[in-house]
């Protein structure tokens, strides 16, 4: 059963995102989680996340609390790339299944221009973008959603831009009208 969101939260939701949240089969996340995820705005702009990014964010938020399992892409567990792969699949965007395929995950964007839904890749063993080892989805306002590691669940954390070696915008792969 989907619980009602506060009037302030409802006012901030665009109609497509509200439909997505109401159509989600999973129980609604707590109001604070909805505010931190489904109502993401591009930091500093006040603009809502694109419909594609909002769909991916809503899907990822519905996975909060599910366990990390290496190689998993849902529905009961996820690894880092499996979470973003499944989230963007729900939005109709095909991504690479692993962090090593990041070059097909949309146009590269400067860290100074990241928006909700962008993927942030951390360096792998060689410390370069050629071999990223972890991926998270940016939610806006300095927050990311991720499947961090064995023993942890899908969760929201503060962004650590110091460890990011490349950022991509999968929503940029959506067909333009």
The dihedral through the CA atoms of 94, 26, 150, 136 has a sign that is: positive
Picking from 25-39, 49-63, 157-171, which range would have the lowest pLDDT averaged per residue?
25-39
Catalytic residue among 63, 80, 115, 143: 80
Tell me which residue range forms the domain holding 57.
Answer: 7-170
| 116-166 residue pLDDT tens | 999 999 987 766 777 888 999 999 999 999 999 999 999 999 999 998 999
Q: Does residue 137 fall inside a structural domain? A: yes
Active-site annotation holds for 146: yes
Alpha carbon distance 31, 25 (integer Å): 17
- Look at residue 64 and tell me whether its pLDDT is greater than 70: yes
- 78 vs 30, residue with greater confidence: 78
The predicted structure's pLDDT at residue 103:
79
Domain count, the chain: 1
The predicted structure's pLDDT at residue 175:
60
Mean pLDDT of the region 103-123: 92
Q: Does residue 145 fall inside a structural domain? A: yes
- Look at residue 46 and tell me whether its pLDDT is greater than 60: no
- Look at residue 104 and tell me whether its pLDDT is greater than 90: no
The predicted structure's pLDDT at residue 49:
57
Q: How confident is the model at residue 42 (pLDDT cuts 50, 70, 90)?
A: very low
Residues making up the chain, counted from first to last? 177
Phi, then psi, of 165 in degrees rounded to 5: -105, -20
Active-site annotation holds for 63: no
Integer angstrom CA distances of residue 70 from 5, 52, 81, 141, 150: 34, 26, 9, 28, 7
Catalytic residue among 63, 115, 143, 146: 146
State the Cα torsion 146-150-151-153 to the nearest 10°.
20
Which CATH number do you get for residue 63?
3.90.1720.10
Catalytic residue among 134, 149, 152, 155: 134
% of the chain surpassing 90 pLDDT: 54
Q: Does residue 103 fall inside a structural domain? A: yes
Q: Which two tokens stand for residue 145?
A: 């959603």
The position carrying tokens 């604070």 is 32
- Look at residue 101 and tell me whether its pLDDT is greater than 70: yes
Q: Does residue 175 fall inside a structural domain? A: no
- Look at residue 14 and tell me whether its pLDDT is greater than 50: no
The closest of 79, 3, 1, 81 to 38, measured between CA atoms, is: 3
On whether the CB atoms of residues 173 and 106 are closer than 8 A, the answer is yes
Range with the largest mean pLDDT of 42-46, 80-84, 99-103: 80-84
Cα atoms found within 13 Å of the Cα of residue 158, Cβ hemisphere only: 2
């Amino acid at each position: 059963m989907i619980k009602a969101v506060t009037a302030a939260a409802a006012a901030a939701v665009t109609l497509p995102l509200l439909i997505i949240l109401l159509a989600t089969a999973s129980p609604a996340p707590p109001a604070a989680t909805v505010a931190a995820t489904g109502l993401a705005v591009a930091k500093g702009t006040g603009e809502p996340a694109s419909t594609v990014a909002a769909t991916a964010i809503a899907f990822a938020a519905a996975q909060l609390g599910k366990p990390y399992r290496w190689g998993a892409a849902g529905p009961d567990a996820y690894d880092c790339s499996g979470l973003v792969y499944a989230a963007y699949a729900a939005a109709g965007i095909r991504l690479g299944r692993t962090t090593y395929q990041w070059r097909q995950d949309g146009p590269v964007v400067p860290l100074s221009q990241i928006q909700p839904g962008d993927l942030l890749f951390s360096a792998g063993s060689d410390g370069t973008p050629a071999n990223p080892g972890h991926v998270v989805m940016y939610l806006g306002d300095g927050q990311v959603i991720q499947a961090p590691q064995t023993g942890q669940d899908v969760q929201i954390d503060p962004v650590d831009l110091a460890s990011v070696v490349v950022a991509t915008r999968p929503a940029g792969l959506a067909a333009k009208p």
